[in-house]
Amino acid sequence: MEQYLPLIIQLIAGAVGGNAAGAASKNMSLGGVGNTIAGAVGGGVLGQLLQMALPMLSGAGGGGVDVSAMAGNVVGGGVAGAVVTAVIGLIKNKMAAK
């Protein structure tokens, strides 16, 4: 279970980041469920890629919880979720305007 903790954190943080991005600008909003799904997917996928690119985010590897790694997962997942939601929202709204 411990190996899934970073992914769970990134999914939750991504969902929160996606909802924050949708609330910040109605031009980017996909609706509540859409923001949550896009944010969670963005937080999970991009968060995992970020963790592979920056191994320091995965922690020291010893037993227990590394607080700095957890904080990195929260920030990475949240930002990734917000970015993915914003990009998808802008594309969706540009397509709808045509």
Q: Write the DSSP symbol of residue 45.
A: H
The answer to whether residue 59 sits within a structural domain is no
The answer to whether 73 and 10 are in contact (CB under 8 A) is yes
Q: Which residues contact 90 (CB under 8 A, 6 or more apart)?
A: 27, 28
Q: Which string of DSSP letters, residue by residue, matches 5-33? A: HHHHHHHHHHHHHHHHHHHH-TTT---HH
pLDDT of residue 96: 83
The answer to whether residue 50 sits within a structural domain is no
The answer to whether residue 20 sits within a structural domain is no
Tally the domains of the chain. 1
The answer to whether residue 11 sits within a structural domain is no
The answer to whether residue 18 sits within a structural domain is no
pLDDT of residue 14: 96
pLDDT of residue 65: 64
Q: 39 lies in which domain range? A: 33-45+69-90
Task: Spell out the per-residue pLDDT of the chain, length 98, in tens.
Answer: 778 888 999 999 999 999 999 999 888 899 999 999 999 999 999 888 887 887 766 665 555 567 888 888 899 899 999 999 999 999 998 888 77
pLDDT of residue 70: 85
Spatial separation of the C-alpha atoms in residues 40 and 13, rounded to whole Å = 7
The answer to whether residue 64 sits within a structural domain is no
pLDDT of residue 31: 93
Residue 93: which H helix or E strand, with range?
helix 67-97
